[in-house]
Chain A
Amino acid sequence: MENELLSASVRLSGKEVPGLAVRVLGTALMPWGASAGAAEAVEFGELAGWRRLSRLARELDAFDASMWRAPDIVAEHEDHALCEANGGSALFFGAALADWLGAWAAQSGRVVVALRNVAHAADLHAIPYWLARRGYAGCVATGLGVAADAGQRDGSGIVFSVASAEDDGWQYRAAHDPMAVPGAACSLLSALKHGAPPRAVFDALLQTGGNSREDVRDFAWLEGNDAVVVAAPARSLSGFIGDACAYAIDSQHLSALKARAMAEGWPIPRDEWERLMRFADRSLIRTSERSREGAG
């Protein structure tokens, strides 16, 4: 039997995956009121196979307390809005964005939010999962900001995700391939480059098809930190099941992954775990004699 202490990976319990994320993000001074949502995004990214903890370990030096800011709502209409995130992190506000979109979709049907200058934009791809879990459909398209090969290893290169409630559960699809992105989303992302897109480009999102090589060309040179997020009533995802949307997960599969993590633990590379733990330990406080009194 392999000696665990000598192995290249560390086995975390299912609870430790979000727990470690909370500790790390707290040390990075993310306000604790937002950390549960952020940890859930990390957990989803880990269970989905995108190695979100590994990416977190690489991001440690880049954390900056100014990232923990809410996006400014530049324009807000009946069923769409434009937000300027000013470098704010999707880890910080992603769960709240899902709350907003869900509540808004309940009132208005399909709603769209376009965001510019989002840090950790890949974490927006947890939003369709959250929306689908609550009985809606959602999709996210983000620009390409990283080399495709690196992005395919850790999820940071995902450009499109879509999910919907379905029967007793939900279905989720994601893709690294710009061809998976609906043409309307490409147009919207492209239009963001030139300011607030006209109303017309908000229409037709979450519709399948409509891609063209021209759209992809427009899309590919966009910055990686712009995004379009859509929420809508639940709908079939059959139109998104194609080669371009090769990555798929559903509620049953996610439950099985969680059950496996509970039973067997969740392995992460030892060096990354140590880096995350050392970073988190920076928030531990040297004790004065007075506060040490009575500790037990």
Chain B
Amino acid sequence: MELTHLGAIWPTKFSFAHSFLRTVCRMDFSCEISELRLDDAGRGHIAYRARLDGHTMTFVVFSDPLPEHQQQDRIIATRWDAWAALFIGEPSAEDIEQSREQIQQVTWGRAAPRTLAWSRANRSARLFEHVVASLAAGQQPDPRQLNQIGYLIRTTGFSGNGRNGMHDYAYLRQIGHPLQAPYHAQMMAAYLWREFGYDLALHLARVRNPAAVDLSDESRRFVGVGNSSGIGLVPFVVRHPRLLDRWIGAREQALAEMYRERFEADDSRCDEFDRQLERAIEYFAHEPTGDLDEFAPSEAIHAELLQVREQFAHLRAGWTAGASRSNPLAELLVSWRGRCCLETGELLNSLLLECHEGGNVDANTLHADESLPFDPTQKAGALKDLIETHLAWVSRFTVEGERPFFWYASEENMEPRRGSRDIDEGEQYALPVDVMGRVEELLSRLRAVPPEQTLGRFLIAHPDMRFMVGWVSTLADSHYAIARTDLLTKDFSPLRIMRFQLATYGMLKFRPRSRTWLRATLFQGAGLPRELAAGHAGDGLLPSVPHGYELTEEPLLGE
């Protein structure tokens, strides 16, 4: 799959946040504060007890607000405003104390028993203060300011899946836990971070004024959780090809099904798509555009969506029952291919998927076996042919231009970084992300042995090629496992891969802070706990803008 398309996608129902919400609201769910120990400055901890399908989880957030100048939005920081652990069951006092102490040690910290995930966060300095001040003054915050930022709490550095002694996904699958789908444990933590943001703001507002009002449901629903991500995300895409194949494959399969189906213009799916379009037009009418030009501006997407909706209305009105064409939605989307920017095109795909199987999703379809098996009795010549026929495109990367970069794990909390060969030392410890170069090397070595030689015999002379033999054998004919981009070249754009990955998690509001650093929001529009408990996941892919949006004209806050 080409990077240009990957880097333009939006969340879909398959994104982990949305599959999480849609899974939770089908189950028996409750969530409450089980312990609140915060002083007047917001220092202390809050514990949330969540019950899902009979399983209890506890999310403990430790809070120690930092002065703004000490906040650092990165996993390399050594302190954050708040840090948290998600546990299976209810942790003991010792487990809570161990977590308080260990979470801030990103690489050497050891999780208490039954820990599922760790994460850290900072408050949005300006919006948080605006919300606290508004509530203390007995008012709701300005919706324009909420939209400008989109979150009260900005998370960074989620870890789980077996790191630091935590439980891994395989364990959750083994015990049949309701959070067994990939990333659902982290999504539960992120969702509860959102709750923490409201509760901390209300606590501080009531310190200022015991009669402070609570945040309205509408505002709560609109506010998400922020995320700040750097290029440390990028190697993931190369190092987890079978996950990539599964995630994109599920989406593409569902899209293909929608295009193949036959239905008429009065089908309820057309009504649903029109409703989604209307919501998207409303969203992009208000969505601020980031400072960098990496992604299409909101204004351009908004203008194109207006045209798409108009054409859709015409198309439905003129649709003839029993037409030989498959369906009006396929007709519409095909007609816009190449006529709109990539971001609009991919957004239309996301909206279309809201009409697939009623927007429902089986989160377990996103699970993938990540092993890279191969048959050692296969012949070297057959593997060579496989590369030459299925991976010929790789050579375009290895012959084109300079490859001045390598990727490494930084001594700052092991964060993956991109180093320059002429500046940074330690290339011998480069992270294993240069699969393009290794494919070429494997091909060259395979060409040097008799084609009838078994891969087993080939490997005893080339044990260092064992990973690549498995990689090629497993992935060469998969459609979506390999992002067609070279992370080592000068013109590689990390932002597009980062956006792809964040959209896969379900994030919105992609705002590059630099060419290698992106902020986004998660769970904007997600249902509140009692709404999930009642079976309502929330607004869907895009949040509804709160009422009263146009009433104020205060200068907008910066992040």
Which of A's residues lie within 8 Å of B, judged by CB?
1, 3-5, 10-16, 19, 26-27, 29, 31-37, 68, 70-71, 73, 92-93, 95-97, 99-104, 106-107, 259, 262-265, 277, 281, 283-288, 290-296
Contacts and interface: CB of A to CB of B under 8 A. Distances in A.
Interface in B251-268: none
Contacts of A99: 376, 455-456, 459-460, 466
B457 interface: yes
B429 A285 contact: yes
B457 A100 contact: yes
B456 A15 contact: no
Given A5-B101, A13-B167, A33 B463 contact: yes
User: Does more than half of chain A's interface fall in helix, strand or loop, or is it mixed?
Assistant: helix
A96 B457 CA distance: 8
Contact of B454 (A103, A264, A283): A103
Contacts of B385: none
Contacts of A1: 92, 94
B323 interface: no
Interface stretch (B4-12, B303-311, B511-519): B511-519
A262 B516 contact: no
Contacts of B414: 284
Interface in B410-430: 410-412, 414-415, 417-420, 423-426, 428-429
16 contacts: A13-B163, A13-B167, A13-B168, A15-B170, A16-B162, A31-B463, A70-B460, A103-B454, A262-B168, A265-B165, A285-B408, A285-B409, A285-B426, A287-B411, A296-B156, A296-B516
Contacts of A15: 161-163, 168, 170
A31 to B, nearest CB: 4
A1 B438 CA distance: 50
Contact of B464 (A19, A68, A104): A68
A41 to B, nearest CB: 12
Interface of B: 73-76, 92, 94, 98, 101-102, 107-108, 110, 112-113, 156, 161-168, 170-171, 174-175, 228-232, 376-377, 408-412, 414-415, 417-420, 423-426, 428-429, 432, 438, 454-457, 459-468, 494, 513-518
A93 B465 contact: no
A220 to B, nearest CB: 29
A290 B423 contact: yes
Q: 6 closest pairs, A vs B, by CB?
A: A296-B230, A294-B516, A103-B456, A15-B162, A31-B464, A99-B376
B519 to A, nearest CB: 9
B102 to A, nearest CB: 8
Given A100-B376, A103-B457, 7 more contacts: A73-B460, A259-B174, A283-B409, A287-B412, A294-B514, A295-B230, A296-B516
A152 B112 CA distance: 33
A117 B52 CA distance: 57
Nearest to B494: A294
Given A34-B467, A103-B376, A288 B432 contact: no
B426 A283 contact: yes
Contacts of B76: 295
A296 B466 contact: no
B409 A70 contact: no
A93 B457 CA distance: 12
B329 to A, nearest CB: 38
Given A32-B467, A96-B459, A291-B420, A26 B429 contact: yes
Contacts of B156: 296
A100 B457 CA distance: 5
B417 A295 contact: yes
Nearest to A1: B94
A59 B426 CA distance: 23
A37 to B, nearest CB: 6
B163 A37 contact: no
Contacts of B110: 4-5, 10-11
Nearest to A262: B171
A11 B113 contact: yes
Nearest to B515: A294
A133 to B, nearest CB: 11
A263 B411 contact: no
Contact of B411 (A11, A16, A37, A281): A281
Contact of B463 (A11, A27, A70, A293): A70
Nearest to B168: A15
A125 to B, nearest CB: 18
Contacts of A288: 419-420, 423-424
B230 A36 contact: no
Contact of B229 (A97, A262, A296): A296
B55 to A, nearest CB: 15
A264 B94 CA distance: 17
B515 A14 contact: no
B410 A284 contact: yes
A31 B437 CA distance: 14
A33 B377 contact: no
A16 B165 CA distance: 7
Contact of A102 (B162, B420, B456, B468): B456
Contacts of B162: 13-16, 19
Contacts of B465: 33
Given A3-B94, A262-B170, A285-B411, A37 B466 contact: yes
A170 to B, nearest CB: 17
Contact of B166 (A13, A264, A277): A13
A177 B161 CA distance: 41
Contacts of A100: 376, 454, 456-457, 459-460
Contact of B74 (A13, A36, A295): A295
A5 B98 contact: yes
A101 B456 contact: yes
Given A13-B165, A14-B168, A103-B455, A285 B463 contact: no
A33 B165 contact: no
Contacts of B425: 285-286
Contacts of A14: 162, 168, 170-171
A86 B315 CA distance: 75
Nearest to B427: A285
- Max chain A Cβ within 10 angstroms of own Cβ: one of B411, B414, B456, B467: B456
Contacts of B432: 32-33
A295 B231 contact: yes
Contacts of B419: 285, 287-288, 291
Contacts of A106: 377
A294 B231 contact: yes
Nearest to B411: A284
Contacts of A295: 74, 76, 230-232, 410, 412, 415, 417, 516-517
Contacts of B113: 4, 11, 264-265
A104 B454 contact: yes
Nearest to A65: B428
A294 B230 CA distance: 6
Residue from A32, A37, A104, A295 with most neighbouring chain B CB atoms (10 Å): A295
Of listed A15, A29, A296, residue having the most chain B CB within 10 A: A296
Most buried by A among B228, B462, B464: B464
A291 B417 contact: yes
A163 B232 CA distance: 43
A16 B167 CA distance: 10
Given A11-B165, A290-B420, A36 B231 contact: no
A292 B416 CA distance: 10
Nearest to A76: B457
Nearest to A22: B432
A33 B466 contact: yes
